[in-house]
Amino acid sequence: MTAFTVTPLSSLWDIFLLFTIPVGGGIPAGVLMAQTRNVGWVDMVAVYLLSDILLAFLFEPLMKFFIWSCQHSKFLAHVRESFKKSTGKLVAGYGAAPGPFALVLIAFGVDPMTGRAAAQAAGHGFLAGWTIAIMGDMLFFGVVAVSTICLNNFLGDGTWTAIIIMVAMLGFPALIRRFKNQK
């Protein structure tokens, strides 16, 4: 896989659709598809960045509508309070007022939507909040993409590579929390 290639848009569309699967679920398959189609790193990263930008423009109005709806519904206000408590627990490890670096780590460790919500709670607007969230998600993408390619080079089987990476993405955080809580 080279850094720069001239890739037809039709080859990138399927990869883009895989990258839009929430919580990173399409990253291993998208990376493997990009590798088999000889898509360069720069193009692949650009496609993933575009999927994050699309997410920002789709999620932001939903988040704003939810915030507005909470003012008019007791049930949604209760949901908001529950979300505030869970976000408070998440952010507690980063101090009372997490800075941009801590918010990037939240987006890296959870997902860009949670990172954006935490940035909103910390007072960051649309551009700064999504920049923070996307930075964390791009770091996550880099880790998963490199891991996927290395494991695929070792195994030589894209299906098992994608399965192992997905299990690791979903299983490692739960194991870390379990061991952390036992201390």
Percent of the chain at pLDDT > 90 equals 25
Candidates 143, 144, 117; CA nearest to 56 is 117
Looking at every residue in the chain, the average pLDDT score rounds to 84
Q: Which residues contact 130 (CB under 8 A, 6 or more apart)?
A: 56, 60, 112, 116, 119
Report which secondary-structure segment, H or E, holds 21: none
Q: Which of 21-25, 65-69, 81-85, 98-102 has the lowest mean pLDDT?
A: 21-25
pLDDT computed for residue 2 by the predictor: 62
Degrees, nearest 5: CA angle 94-97-100: 75
Q: Name the pLDDT band for 134 (thresholds 50, 70, 90).
A: very high
pTM of the model: 0.80
CB 56 within 8 A of CB 71: no
The torsion region of residue 156 among left (phi > 0), alpha (psi -120 to 50) and beta comes to left
Q: Which residues contact 38 (CB under 8 A, 6 or more apart)?
A: 1, 2, 5, 7
pLDDT computed for residue 50 by the predictor: 95
pLDDT computed for residue 63 by the predictor: 83
